[in-house]
Amino acid sequence: MRRPTRPAVRALSLLAVTAAVVTVGAAAPPGTDSPSATAATAAAATATGPAGASTTPPKVPVAVGHGGAVASVDADASAAGIEVLRNGGNAVDAAVATAAALGVTEPYSAGIGGGGYFVHYDARSRKVRTIDGRETAPRSADKTLFLENGKPIPTDEAMTSGRSVGTPGTPATWEAALDAWGSKPLRTLLKPAERLARDGFTVDATFRSQTQGNEARFRDFPASSQLFLPGGQLPVVGAKFKNPDLAKTYEKLGRHGVDALYRGDLARDIVRTVNKPPVDPKATRKVRGGDLTERDLRRYEIERPAPTKVDYRGLGVYGMGPSSSGGTSVGEALNILERTNLSKASQKQFLHRYIEASRIAFADRGRWLGDPAFESVPTRELLSQRFADSRECLIKDDAVLVSPLPPADPRHPSRDCKSSGTAAPTTYEGENTTHLTAADKWGNVVAYTLTIESTGGSGITVPGRGFLLNNELTDFSFAPANPAVHDPNLPGPGKRPRSSISPTIVLDRHDKPVLALGSPGGATIITTVLQSLIGHVDRGLPLVDSIAAPRASQRNAATTELEPGLWNSPVRGELEALGHVFKQNPEIGAATGVQRLPDGRWLAAAEKVRRGGGSAMVVRP
């Protein structure tokens, strides 16, 4: 579907919700963890001053109540979404407001210089629909985009370059979602984020740490250094961080619509910055320019692919279809696990089966997933139970599959339990993204993952505009892993790079929402969502505990990554005895979710520790 060229103006037709304190510390129902802060403390923190006050609410990982819910990694962003719900907005309105605020407080993970995938459940029709707002390559791009003298350029050089920047899709995603399902004008929804950028937010340890990790890159680009290293220094924890340029950019988008980013002076600034990155003359870094044009921006289009769907334990699990590999990979793995009673399995058996299902799904992902506008992607066949059964039979209880595992052809499932084709390793994928989930009092639900790819994206800020540009095109394969085998993820003109983003909505037999879930983390997104889902559905963990559980991530590699909680557990030795090989990863993903409770209340859940903990909020306890 072509991106509209003018913003729609919609009537404010929804009744306003009675003003209420944003409650982030409501008492949890039986079976859930209680928040770390008391309800009284949380209410006091969020009730200070009128709506729009700059007091940052405390972060708590779970909240339960009525009127709607929002969960994200950031308290200011979640509060922006709750403010919209409190003022009569729906889940889509809240998701856009939260996403815009994350562009202020999580600028190294997301923003209008990037893209993402939006999954929406409509309570009236009981249908799930999706928006693919993935960044696209310039029309001039071909399979040699990241090759020089026939060889791939170094990944770190590709990341920090104009060559890695795809046409942003986030603003067009907001417009498309609001035109289809929203109730408030974009200008209204950008106000909380505009205020946050202008007045500032409180720097936490995560923001400082991520700035420090990008310090060398930022110093090489004057606009990035001026914005993120005020006075030439790292931001101080507890200080206010302001971004007046972004506030002005949001005000511009609110006044003129998101088309202002795709044409006109802002579009020219983006193109100029991509093609001739403004590098400090003293910098020694090799920074390549890109080849983005104003025509590339004008012609950007969101896509509306059908959601993926599998039936698992009597539930309908809906995800994101290609160009993302998230829905197909999570779905295939769930189909593989369908034949195993994971609720009665030991921890060793549970993890073994989960790891092997992930390994198989990634083997097939690498062969078949790419942009469906350019590649023949057998989505329906990948999600068939028949194909999953032909792959599940590879799993043995007393042995480990060898990686990289060859893929199979889902169009012709093997009858003798064999893989076919040539194995290929999983390509690099940046791990810093952000996810939000939102629900409203009418029962509408949004799972939305947005990104600028690596932490800090390309490292290049558009001068005077206050936002970083993505490095999303590094999600393409730089070169085929095996020249004799077709790689569906090579660059092409206007092509979307393959993604692992996996926003997921689960419905019951009556097509009513059960939960929504998603995570950042590059290729680990798939395993994080999968593990969190089966932890909740099969193991009976409360959603917040399933999100908090220590993670394992197997992506068709020789080693499986483990977080410390599993690395230091006796189960690691039990799995190694089967033949598993592990390496430690200090942190995998940062999930958020919402859940509809049997009594009609919403539960919002976020991380307890990862990325400094997430922020779960409801409108009313």
Count the Cβ atoms, other than its own, within 10 Å of residue 488.
20
Q: Would you give the end-to-end CA distance of the chain in angstroms? A: 40
Residue written as tokens 């931001």?
Answer: 235
Angle at which helix 170-181 crosses helix 186-199, to 10 degrees, equals: 140
Q: Which of 35, 66, 25, 51 is nearest to 601 (CA)?
A: 66
Cβ-Cβ contacts under 8 Å for 517 (sequence gap 6 or more): 437, 447, 503, 504, 506, 529, 532, 533, 543, 591, 592, 593
Helix or strand holding residue 583 (H, E)? strand 582-584
Q: In this structure, what token pair is assigned to residue 510?
A: 């009556």
| Backbone phi, psi, residue 527, to 5° | -70, -35
Q: Which of 371, 319, 384 is nearest to 498 (CA)?
A: 371
CB 548 within 8 A of CB 607: yes
Residues constituting the chain: 621
Write the DSSP string, 545-571.
HHHHS--EE-SSSSSEEE-HHHHTSHH
Is 433 known to be catalytic? yes
Cβ-Cβ contacts under 8 Å for 467 (sequence gap 6 or more): 103, 107, 111, 112, 113, 246, 249, 461
**How far apart (Å, rounded) are the C-alpha atoms in residues 475 and 197?**
29
Residue 572 to residues 88, 243, 353, 562, Cα–Cα distance (Å): 49, 45, 14, 9
Task: Specify the pairing of strand 560-562 against strand 582-584.
Answer: parallel
**How far apart (Å, rounded) are the C-alpha atoms in residues 427 and 500?**
11
Options 105, 170, 206, 433, the catalytic residue: 433
β-partners of residue 68 are 440
**How far apart (Å, rounded) are the C-alpha atoms in residues 69 and 429?**
31
β-partners of residue 552 are 562
Q: What is the largest CA-CA distance in the chain?
A: 68
The string over 312-348, giving b where at least 16 C-beta atoms fall within 10 Å of a residue's C-beta and e elsewhere, is beebbbbbbbbbbbbbbbbbbbbbbbbebebeebeeb
Q: In this structure, what token pair is assigned to residue 114?
A: 């990037």
Q: Which of 172, 181, 258, 177 is nearest to 13 (CA)?
A: 181
* Active-site residue list: 433
